[in-house]
């Protein structure tokens, strides 16, 4: 079975459903039917696979980092792109002012090297200081 096209291949106008058929008894119904809108059809195959992985990892970016071998900023950008395609606005402050995974690693390295105090590291990790 082929995937239903959404646009006319000739003029690119929206297509409507004018016929339905039963896969069991081959009953056919003709008319003009309003399609049930599935917002996920707007996503390409890679974006759909990303969402499946996201769900499989229970929405936890740290698990998704391991699963896809991608950095947190890359994952976040891909997720925000999908959010926009689906018609939503990604939040400007996606971690409540807290640093990204990459920034967290830098802070912990600075702490380990003695460049900052444990208190300063804690404040930075909590997003209270830059």
Q: Where are the domains of the chain?
A: 95-130
Asked if residue 94 lies in contact with residue 87, where contact means CB atoms within 8 angstroms, the answer is: no
Does the pTM surpass 0.75? The reply is no
pLDDT in tens, 13-63: 888 889 999 999 999 999 988 766 778 878 889 999 999 999 999 999 999
Token pair for 71? 């950095």
pLDDT in tens, 106-115: 898 999 999 9
78: DSSP letter: H
List, in sequence order, every beta strand (DSSP E) within the chain. Answer: 17-21, 28-33
Angstrom distance (rounded) from CA 74 to CA 46: 14
pLDDT in tens, 52-97: 999 999 999 999 999 999 988 889 889 999 998 888 887 665 545 6
Angstrom distance (rounded) from CA 96 to CA 78: 19
Angstrom distance (rounded) from CA 113 to CA 31: 72
What is the pLDDT averaged over residues 121-127?
82
pLDDT of residue 97: 61
Provide CB contacts within 8 A for 82, sequence distance 6+: 43, 47, 50, 51
pLDDT of residue 101: 74
């Amino acid at each position: 079975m082929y995937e239903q096209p959404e646009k006319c291949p000739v003029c690119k106008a929206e297509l409507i459903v004018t016929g339905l058929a039963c896969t069991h008894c081959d009953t056919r119904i003709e008319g003009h039917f309003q399609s049930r809108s599935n917002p996920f059809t707007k996503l390409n195959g890679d974006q759909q696979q990303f969402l499946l992985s996201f769900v499989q990892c229970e929405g936890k970016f740290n698990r998704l980092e391991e699963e896809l071998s991608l950095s947190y900023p890359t994952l976040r950008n891909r997720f925000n792109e999908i959010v926009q395609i689906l018609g939503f606005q990604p939040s400007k402050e996606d971690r409540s002012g807290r640093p990204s995974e990459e920034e967290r690693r830098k802070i912990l390295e600075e702490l380990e090297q003695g460049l900052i105090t444990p208190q300063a590291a804690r404040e930075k990790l909590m997003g209270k200081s830059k």
